[in-house]
Amino acid sequence: MSDILRLKQIRKKRGLTTKRLSDMSGISRSYISQLENDGNDNPTLIVICALCRGLGITPNDLIPEQLYK
């Protein structure tokens, strides 16, 4: 998933650690790390929305436009 979601890029740009994003989103730190690094997980819409809430963004910001086509 790391190639699909811009999670790590956006999180770092906002100056957040995985721990802080975990606290803000309610998603475990280990799962955030999996999404950012392993690239073999498919998060549910609920997880995507929770991460977006924690980052203060919309799903459109997190998921590249080419995936909608």
Q: Report the alpha-carbon distance of residue 28 to residue 47 in Å, rounded.
A: 10
Which domains, ranges and CATH numbers included, belong to the chain?
Answer: 7-60 (1.10.260.40)
Q: pLDDT-derived band of residue 29, with 50, 70 and 90 as boundaries?
A: very high
Please give the pLDDT value at position 64.
75
Residue with tokens 């392993």: 38
| Mean residue pLDDT across the chain | 87
DSSP string, the chain: -TTT--HHHHHHHTT--HHHHHHHH---HHHHHIIIII------HHHHHHHHHHHT--HHHHS-GGGG-
pLDDT-derived band at 42, boundaries 50, 70, 90:
confident
Q: What is the pTM of this model?
A: 0.84
Mean pLDDT of 9-31: 96
Q: Nearest to residue 26, comparing CAs of 55, 57, 59?
A: 55
